[in-house]
Chains A and B, each alone.
Chain A
C-alpha cells in the first residue's frame, strides 16, 4: 500500500472553475500536511499547510483535512491557466512522505 496516494490525473478544468485535488495517507500518526505546486522543470513550491481537522483558506486555495478518514484535499477556486502544474501532497509524522502528484490543467 502506498503511504500517500494521489490520483495522477491529468485533471482538466475550465478557467474559472473549482479544481479539487485529493490525497489519502496510511500513517494514522501523521501530524502535518502540506500541498506543494510543481511547475514542469521546476522544484516544488509550498502553497499550503494544515495541521488541524477542518478547512484552512488562503486566497483562492482551501485545504481540507479529515484525520479520521485519513484524507486531505486542496480546492482551487477561480482556477487560472497559471495554476496548471503538478500538485504534490506531503504528509509528515517525523518524516515527510510525498505522493506522486496530480497533474492539473486549467484550460482557457
Chain B
C-alpha cells in the first residue's frame, strides 16, 4: 500500500449505530488530520494529531471521537450520529517540521475518503 488509505470507502449507518473509520499513512509523516466535506462547502478541519498528540479539535460534537495510536494510524469513532453528519470524511497526513506546539505544517496528502450516509 502506498500513500494514504482509508476504510471503509462507503458506510451507511443508522443513528443508533457505532462505527469506526480507519486511516493509515505510508508516507513517514508525523501529522494526521480528519476533515469533513459536505456538498458545496469548504473542507472542514475536524481534528489534528501532531506527533500522536491531538493539537486541534475544532468544536466537533462529541459523537465524533478520534484516536491516534501511532503516527501511521488514525481512527474516527462514530456514535449516535445525525443525518446532517452525512458527508465525505477525508483523512490527510503531512510532515510537520517543528515537533513542539504549532509547527510548520507542510503540504497535506489526502486519502480517498469515506462516503458516510446516516439514515
User: Which chain A residues have a beta carbon within 8 Å of chain B's beta carbons?
Assistant: 2, 4, 8, 31-32, 34, 36, 42-46, 49, 88, 90, 92, 94-101
Residues of B within 8 A of A (CB): 33, 40-43, 45, 48, 56, 90, 102-113
A100 to B43, CA, bound (A): 7
Contacts of A94 in B (CB 8 A): 102-103, 105
Complex A-B: 20 CB contacts under 8 Å: A4-B42, A32-B107, A34-B108, A36-B110, A42-B112, A43-B113, A44-B43, A44-B90, A44-B110, A46-B107, A92-B105, A95-B48, A96-B45, A96-B105, A96-B108, A97-B45, A98-B43, A100-B40, A100-B41, A101-B42
Interface SS of chain A: strand
- Name the B residues within 8 Å of A45 (CB-CB): 110
Chain B interface main SS type: loop
Please, which residues of chain B bring their CB within 8 A of the CB of A8? Answer: 40
Give chain A residues whose Cβ lies under 8 Å from the Cβ of B43: 44, 88, 98
Most buried by A among B40, B42, B48, B108: B42
How long is the Cα–Cα vector from A34 to B90 in the complex, in angstroms?
Answer: 17
- On whether the beta carbons of A100 and B42 are closer than 8 Å, the reply is yes
Q: Residues of A contacting B107 with CB < 8 Å? A: 32, 34, 46, 49
Contact between A43 and B42, CB atoms less than 8 A apart: no
CA distance A4 to B87 in the complex (A): 21
Given contacts A46-B108, A95-B105, 17 further A-B contacts (CB under 8 A): A8-B40, A32-B105, A32-B106, A43-B111, A43-B112, A44-B90, A46-B109, A49-B107, A90-B108, A92-B105, A94-B102, A95-B48, A96-B33, A96-B45, A96-B105, A99-B42, A100-B42
